[in-house]
Structure 1
Amino acid sequence: MHWLFGDQLGPHFLTPGEGGPGRDTPLLMIEARSVFRRRRFHRAKAHLVLSAMRHRAAELGDRLTYVRADTYAEGLKRAAGGRAVSVHHPTSHAALRLVRSLPQVTVAPARGFLTPMADFTAWADGHGGTSLRQEDFYRRVRRDHDLLMDGDQPVGGRWNLDADNREPPPRKATVLDIGRPYRPRESEIDDEVRHDLDRWEKDGDVSFVGRDGPRLFPATRDEATAALRRFVTHRLTTFGAYEDAMLAADPHMSHSLLSAALNLGLLDPAECVERAEAAWRAGNAPLNSVEGFVRQIAGWREYVWQLYWYFGDDYRHSNVLRHTGALPDWWNDLDADALEARCLRTTLAQVRDTGWTHHIPRLMILGGYALQRGWDPAAVTDWFHRCFVDGYDWVMVPNVVGMSQYADGGRMTTKPYTSGGAYVNRMSDLCGPCAYRPGDRTGEYACPYTAGYWMFIDRHQKRLAGNHRTARAVHQLDRIADLPEALRQERARGDAPP
């Protein structure tokens, strides 16, 4: 028997070889209710995962045994008894511990990624386990997979076109003038899932956060490939320039919205980057957009996956900044209506309503606010894991602990990623109608991000003074006359909704 986890749903998990199942091997999938009892997940995320699993079960028919059980161990015992079971390497440390604790289960190599773990380990060990910069790894992946290459050199002469992909949104635009993203049609399976989730909540068995409107993300292979085609055809062209821009009325901008489908295993990363490259070679998309998309998948996504395993399970407990603040109730409950700060209110409402925002609101608005206030990075990581439809342990531990909260002290990134209101004002239309002013540090209209940024720099000035990328900000502390008053006011605010 071959066991499929709920994020191993694409055809590339069933092809023979490297421990994969034979063409006639019986398949098993287990829907474990205990997963939803342990954490307060976003309702839309629970819906998407269960819908995807049940759709896949319907596609596989009699070949697959679908078990609804309280736990994975119970489901495995009921379906397989003492039979031998194989499974591809799971995507979390907890799941890997589980399958390795079961003597009947054999773990095969991971699928759904471009680089074998052993190859990354050899590369990382060759760097002494330090200075593992994403850019260096990204270039290796490009060479190994012949992505956007002209012989042994990058097409266009540059590896990274990020400098071309930092444009603010077009002036006076409220939305980008491009086609809307792919949206699936719900099926009877979605109705069944929604009915089950309603019943579980009514019985008090589980509790969710956020809203479960019409399903917005692919739950089947056909839907995922349709979403990929639509992105490459209609949205990839403008993706690059506005990759980091934000508009209040356009949460999607030109982003692909493929992360959920990729992380469910419905798409293989190779097909995504190869389709994008083909669009460029056919003259249908500019190089800066294609390279930016390729870097997100073949660079960043791959890098995050590999670091999750290379750094080990203890990495999640990193907290060099010694941040221990508790997440406030308005944050945990996604209570966007309690907020006046427009950027945070808009972003938190997007999470509440859809379980998704693109990477800049995640990093600079949500993550930046948490970092400035000194919240416990483990709690912040758990929140991102639970509240995003594309959030999995392997995704969020490096992204939040390392990138967003700088809790590892620089093992993953070269500086903390946080800013004052000026950055948000430059890259969005969020500040204009806001109750606060991005340039004000003190007073009634002081921006919580501007004051919060200097509060963070002041709190960690000794550490940041030794980093060439943050030393300038530390040197400015003594030159800001109103800074003591700004810090006093911001500390007095505490965890009150901004």
Structure 2
Amino acid sequence: MRRWLFADQLGPHFLDDPDQPVLLVESTRVLARRRFHRQKAQLLLSALRHRARELGDRCDHRIGATYGEAVADYGEPLEVPDPTSWAARRFVTDLPGVTVVPTAYTATSRDDFSTWAHGGTDQGHSDGHGDGRWDGHGDGARGGTGGRRRLLMEDFYRWQRRRFGVLMDGDSPAGGRWNFDHDNRHPPPRRAHLDLPEPWSPSETEVDAEVREHLDRLERDGHAQFRGVDGPRRFAATRAEAGQALDWFVRHRLADFGPYEDAMLAGDWAMAHSTLSPALNLGLLHPLEVVAAAEQAYRRGEAPIASVEGFVRQVLGWREYVWGIYWWAGEDYADRNALGARTPLPRWFDDLDADAVGAACLSDVLAGVRERGWVHHIPRLMVLGNWALQRGYDPRALTDFFHESFVDGYAWVMAPNVVGMSQYADGGLMATKPYAAGGAYIHRMSDYCGGCRYHPSHRLGEDACPFTAGYWAFLDRNAGALAANPRLRRPLAGLARLADRAAVTAAEHRRGAGPP
């Protein structure tokens, strides 16, 4: 049967047979419906068209206004791997002549996660204390629909390690510990960059040129609007390129990943991160082959356990956990708004207008998104997400912004990461506390503050750090809703003792929606 593949199902593991006939569809309506980053649109269409060329005569490549038009009365039955979003899944299940088959997108199926979440497996629990990391490393989540009393990403991660035999020495974790986070929390070094080889990047092909002309024409004719700027394609668009990017990371950058994975440097946009998320989310790589490559480097003595474990935790732990939560929490998850945040995204933020912003960290991160459609996880959470949380930006609008602005942004990725982790809009399903932080955190974990017009320890005055003042204003605005949270007792007690509390909150109110 011919298999219809979406643009995030492009790896060979989405076909049962290497000779299976394939349908690939480009929908121009998708680009008209959302304001994607220009480089995201470039990457998606480049990947899809490269795959069509690879498949040759076995591929029926159609371009139409909508997916429905492209497959209506197709003339032969189609099967499609289970899509990666609620909306796409609902769409394909309603199409006559289309059969939905299991997907190989992740290592953990929806049923796997549901079984685990309801306690139906050998859980191998941790001690339950967690470690308070923003990205779910040991962080807790209160269960949503019965079954388990509480979900812990740490328990899920250990279950994953055991069942797939990843970084295991018999029944024990490699290196004698499950978690090397305490070795991986270094502030940045006192230099402008990490002095590592740059992340792998491709050489563009004639397909990229065709796509660029196509997008130029859509924009010129008023059929699409993009945010961000055009630029050279930085990320893999083919299976072969993805393999090269993985190999390059493992050989040249993995060993240095761990210590500085939570640090930021203005002069080093990727630090030691893999930049493999776009390839993974396009389906060009499978998560198990990625973690296997990292583990092999450890076994060969080419990368330390702390770096390898930290990387495996991100891929086999956090990424798979986000996938599971997206489906387990239900279709309405992206609309949750536990803190009642309603502020519309201001135009300067939505437009990635970094030049309008005086705060060094926020300006640099917005510029990174504008120029590349990608920044690593700490700028996403502790700069963009932290800013939005402090100002009460509408979480659904913010989720759409992340989905559209990042080259690796998809519905299943961004709903748990933004609604849950970043904005605490799910009321504690993904995290045990809101990840709001003042300028002191950014000062400790970056080199932004030294040349900034604002001082990270000042909350009033012309040089008051908007993150520091915004932190206290956030606590003041949400004190009632957060009063029962045990992890916020100390911050809320500090708020109660703040002599200039009224002045700080008034100053933040006057700041309004304008750029800092």
TM-score over 0.5 for the pair: yes
Moved more, 102-111 or 336-345: 102-111
93-102 vs 153-162, which deviates more?
A: 153-162
Match of 1:364 among 342, 364, 382: 382
- Tell me the residue number matched to 1:105: 98
Q: The residue matched to 1:34 in structure 2 has which SS?
A: helix
Percent identity over paired residues: 58
Instruction: Summarize the alignment of residues 36-435 of structure 1 with structure 2, pairs less than 5 Å apart.
Output: 36-77=31-72, 80-81=74-75, 83-126=76-119, 128-171=147-190, 173-435=191-453
Corresponding letter in the other structure for 1:3: W
Q: What is the rounded CA distance, in whole Å, between the counterparts of 1:489 and 1:195 in structure 2?
A: 48
**Are 2:5 and 1:4 equivalent residues in the alignment?**
yes
Equivalent residue, structure 1, for 2:507:
489
SS at match of 1:303: helix
Shift of 1:116: 2.2
CA contact (8 A) 1:328 1:495 kept: yes
Partner of 1:292, secondary structure, is helix
Task: Choose from 427, 448, 457 the match for 2:466.
Answer: 448
**8 A Cα contact 1:124 1:130, kept in partner:** no
Superposed CA offset, 1:206-247 (max 9, x none)? 100001111000001111110001100000111000000000
1:112-134 per-position Cα deviation (integer Å, ceiling 9, x unaligned): 21122212111112272552221
Opposite residue 220 of structure 2, the aligned amino acid is K
CA distance in 2, matches of 1:289, 1:367: 25
**Structure 2 match to 1:27:** 22
User: Aligned to 2:60, what secondary structure does the other structure show?
Assistant: strand
What is the CA distance between 1:470 and its match in structure 2? Answer: 1.2
- CA deviations 1:444-487 (Å, max 9, x no partner) are 00000000001111111123232121110001112221222111
> What letter matches 1:107 in structure 2?
V
Mapped to 1, the partners of 2:250 and 2:281 lie a distance apart of 19
What is the SS of the residue equivalent to 1:469?
helix
Helix, strand or coil at the partner of 2:450:
coil
Deviation at 1:287, TM superposition (A): 0.5
Q: Is this contact kept in 2: 1:421–1:438, CA < 8 A?
A: yes
Distance 2:430 2:268 in 1: 31
Match for 2:49: what amino acid? R
Question: Is the deviation greater in 211-220 or in 128-137?
Answer: 128-137
The CA distance in 1 between the partners of 2:245 and 2:21, in whole Å, is 30
Which residue of the partner structure matches residue 132 of structure 2? none
Task: Determine helix, strand or coil for the equivalent of 1:413.
Answer: coil
In the TM superposition, what whole-angstrom CA distance separates every residue of 1:269-298 from its partner, at most 9, and x where no partner exists?
Answer: 111100100101111001110000000000
Q: CA deviation at 1:103?
A: 2.1
Q: Write the deviation string for residues 361-388 of structure 1: whole angstroms up to 9, x where unpaired.
A: 0000000000000011000000000000
The answer as to whether partners of 1:441 and 1:483 remain within 8 angstroms in 2 is no
State the alpha-carbon separation in 1 of the partners of residues 371 and 287 from structure 2: 27
For structure 2, the 5+ residue unaligned runs are 120-142
**Could you tell me which amino acid in structure 2 is paired with residue 234 of structure 1?**
H
> Which amino acid is 2:419 matched to?
V
Look up the SS of the partner of 1:65 in the other structure: strand
Match for 1:138: what amino acid? Y
**Contact (CA 8 Å) 2:12, 2:18: kept in 1 or not?**
no
Aligned to 1:19: none
Aligned to 2:118, the other structure's residue is in SS state: helix
Which residue of 2 is the match for residue 462 of structure 1? 480
Q: For 2:150 and 2:383, locate their aligned partners in 1 and report how far apart those are by CA, in whole Å.
A: 27
- Say if 2:460 and 2:504, in contact at 8 Å, map to a contact too: yes
Would you say how many aligned residue pairs link Structure 1 and Structure 2?
489
Query: By how many angstroms is 1:308 displaced?
Result: 0.6
CA RMSD of aligned residues (A): 1.0
Unaligned runs of 5+ in 1: 17-21
Question: Which amino acid in structure 1 is aligned with residue 88 of structure 2?
Answer: A
Is the 1:138–1:295 Cα contact (8 Å) retained in structure 2? Answer: yes
CA-CA distance at 1:431 after TM superposition: 0.6
